[in-house]
Chain A
Amino acid sequence: MPIEILMPALSPTMEEGNLSKWLKNEGDKVVAGDVIAEIETDKATMEVEAVDEGTIAKIVVPAGTEGVKVNAVIAVLAVDGEDVDKAGEGIGEEPAKAETAAPAPAAAKSEAAAPVAAAPKTEIAADPDIPAGTEMVSTTVREALRDAMAEEMRRDGDVFVMGEEVAEYQGAYKITQGLLQEFGPRRVVDTPITEHGFAGVGVGAAMAGLKPIVEFMTFNFAMQAIDQIINSAAKTLYMSGGQMGAPIVFRGPNGAAARVAAQHSQCYAAWYSHIPGLKVVMPYTAADAKGLLKAAIRDPNPVIFLENEILYGQSFDVPKLDDFVLPIGKARIHKQGKDVTIVSFGIGMTYAIKAEAELRGMGIDAEIIDLRSIRPLDFDTIIASVKKTNRLIVVEEGFPQSSVGDHIANQVSQRAFDFLDAPVITVAGKDVPMPYAANLEKLALPNIGEVVEAVKAVTYR
């Protein structure tokens, strides 16, 4: 039997990649360990090694093909004794492009591995912060974040970025790509793996008047630094009677990625939102990521900027404006509706948006609010919406106890009780450490069905 060489998954969240280069041709002999191709993911260009010995019988996916799905057949290897000419027959007749590749054995796996990836593109309600007629450019969240940092670093020489792998490696998730080349090692600083220490160094530099952007490779690692974030960064302004604060941004991916289990999968939105002295931002779209990161860098307070690995590669329209800065603390109505209000933020928005599409089919017109900022929290927008719809659902990936949704439910019950026609329902992650197994992970996260059911419950359907 000829061996099918499949498109490999090269990161926890990779679903597809570009086959940039073949290093072997049809007819070449390979042994295990030979580099046969180069694949470009959204994070890096990686070499693919042969696992088996044989002869390349057929290259199914030509070099330069973009959007090749994980587990699609990219080549066929004839093993010893097989007819090289016949080995590739019948395989890969259809191009393994993004839309058509149907890797049967992997379908279940990839679906489970990234259950919330690739949210459908919905019509986003016009953002009042963007002037009508502004040209929009499709941009990934990753590019938007990078652009925000680069623009602010050009604007203010006191802004610098520090963290693990931010400079020479170009960012563990490529968020700082190109910054070292433009700004040099004085302003793009690779740190040792030492979160507690470099968070403190960043806060000290901020107290001295610089404006550091501290990247955590993930916010899970910021647990080691949380004392400096809370006790030093958040409290100094108050403890000094207003004399001295810390203008600093702590940013990085937050929440569950895919299949990285308990220690690498948790949402810190509720944790940091607890702390007076901090601002907490958690954008969903690329436009919000850009406008809010620029705002965070200019903000004189410590800002926790929570990103999401799964969203990094997703594209959104970003306004082409010279200086696009959004206000921290203001929610955005993602979609207008009249029957029920669904509040979410960050990657939670993907569930809300997909559920909304289903609800529309059932004749329920949901309003979706993207909080964007968790602290300060825009209760005015939520309460105005509740006064219209009289029903509220909050969706988030974080743990359920003392969640952002719990806080919203409490405040809405105090401030708008008479407007509620049903209890507020919170849809959150399950009250368990994140499991590794694909099926359990899927169960631990919220899902669209839960959001739909919650809406049906509050609309008495």
Chain B
Amino acid sequence: MATAARKAPAKSVKSSGLSAPKPADFTKDEELAAYRHMLLIRRFEEKAGQLYGMGFIGGFCHLYIGQEAVVTGMKMALIDGDQMITAYRDHGHMLAMELSPRGVMAELTGRRGGLSKGKGGSMHMFSKEKHFYGGHGIVGAQVSLGTGLAFANRYRENKNVSLTYFGDGAANQGQVYESFNMASLWKLPVIFIIENNRYAMGTSVSRSSAETDFSHRGASFKIPGIQVDGMDVRAVKAAADLATEWCRAGNGPLILEMQTYRYRGHSMSDPAKYRSKEEVQKMRSEHDPIEQVKARLIDKKWASEDELKTIDKEVRDIVADAADFAQNDAEPDPSELWTDIVL
């Protein structure tokens, strides 16, 4: 594989001719689906935050509120067998990959019905069936792993693509660049999705990164990159279509810098004093991914306020059911301490 890959010159960033595509034209059904999926993530995360405050969820808990358009738009471009892997801010990714809200929430509360039987927690959940490969607590580790998923796709000569997510903070880890090098050298079908939410925990991008345009981070490895408005689900979907086609055609990896924003702190215990309330408020009122879809649906008369309220109600019911299950499910049996260590 390595030898064959080396013979075909990779397209350079300049010669790739890639630029951010125009936001996708969504049909009514696509708008409604995006609305419903993003709303599920938001309501789920709000509930998780509430349960954390009530003491049902322990440890670290990183909420995805504000970034919903990224996973939702990316998921819309996937075909069966495409893999997803991310770091610890993973609840939204799992819901996007259609993992059960009950299973995710019960894992957050550490119950036996959790996706990892209560042994993984917020940061460590997986689903072989849904091709979700975690859920990783070590910043940057998922990038090498996601490159390995792409390696397996190439090895099996299938058309699947690995969606490997990481943040602006992880983008400074060394193994990210080791992975870029191998992914490009071997033309692996991996989309490196950098969710730039502007803060690596409490350190802003400008204080931690010499090159703040993350779409350029693959330049030394001939990996083209595109900056995408990560608050607009249509822009994400268009970039996802372009990137998945690029990878499926055998062109190797691609970087998508998703310019996004998290409304909450880094984790539940982060007061987020490193940014102003005005900055957060401005993003919420002017760029909220869910409000954008809602406005379009109403503007185009594709849905009435009442119809949207019905969706809200359905989503709240799903989340309430998940929360109810997660609070009442039993803790793992003590014997589970000793299972799943080795096969």
Contacts and interface: CB of A to CB of B under 8 A. Distances in A.
B151 interface: yes
B174 interface: yes
Contacts of B126: 236, 239-240, 243-244
Given A192-B185, A197-B175, A207-B133, A241 B340 contact: yes
B133 A209 contact: no
A196 B136 contact: no
B116 interface: yes
Contacts of B147: 197, 200-201, 204
Nearest to A235: B124
A213 B147 CA distance: 17
A232 interface: yes
A210 B178 contact: no
B341 A276 contact: yes
Contact of A241 (B83, B120, B137, B153): B120
Contacts of A210: 151-152, 155
Contacts of A315: none
Interface string B116-142: 111110001111100001111110010
A301 B342 CA distance: 6
Interface in A276-332: 276-277, 279, 300-301
B145 A239 contact: no
A301 B120 CA distance: 18
Contact of B343 (A190, A199, A245): A245
Interface string A316-351: 000000000000000000000000000000000000
A205 B116 contact: no
Interface size class of B (residues with CB under 8 A): 35 or more
A279 B343 CA distance: 11
Interface in A161-212: 167, 185-186, 189-192, 194, 196-210
Contacts of A199: 144
Nearest to B114: A241
A390 B83 CA distance: 56
B218 to A, nearest CB: 14
B342 A197 contact: no
A242 B339 contact: yes
Nearest to B125: A240
B343 A301 contact: yes
Interface string B294-320: 000000000000000000000000000
Given A210-B155, A236-B126, A243 B116 contact: yes
A454 B151 CA distance: 51
Interface string B169-202: 0000011001101100100000000000000000
B182 A191 contact: yes
Residue from the set A186, A189, A192, A236 with the largest chain B CB neighbour count within 10 Å: A236
A271 interface: no
B152 A197 contact: no
A334 B49 CA distance: 60
Q: Which residue of B4, B126, B133, B185 has the most chain A CB atoms within 10 A of its CB atom?
A: B126
A415 B304 CA distance: 74
Nearest to B181: A192
B178 A197 contact: yes
B342 A277 contact: yes
Contacts of A209: 152
Given A239-B119, A239-B120, A243-B126, A279 B342 contact: yes
Given A204-B147, A204-B148, A240-B125, 8 more contacts: A189-B1, A197-B178, A201-B151, A208-B153, A227-B138, A231-B138, A231-B141, A238-B119
30 contacts: A160-B155, A186-B155, A192-B178, A197-B147, A197-B175, A197-B179, A200-B144, A200-B178, A200-B179, A203-B144, A204-B144, A205-B149, A205-B151, A208-B149, A210-B151, A210-B152, A232-B136, A239-B116, A239-B119, A239-B124, A239-B134, A239-B135, A240-B115, A240-B134, A241-B117, A242-B117, A245-B343, A276-B341, A277-B341, A279-B342
Interface of A: 160, 167, 185-186, 189-192, 194, 196-210, 227-228, 231-232, 236-245, 276-277, 279, 300-301
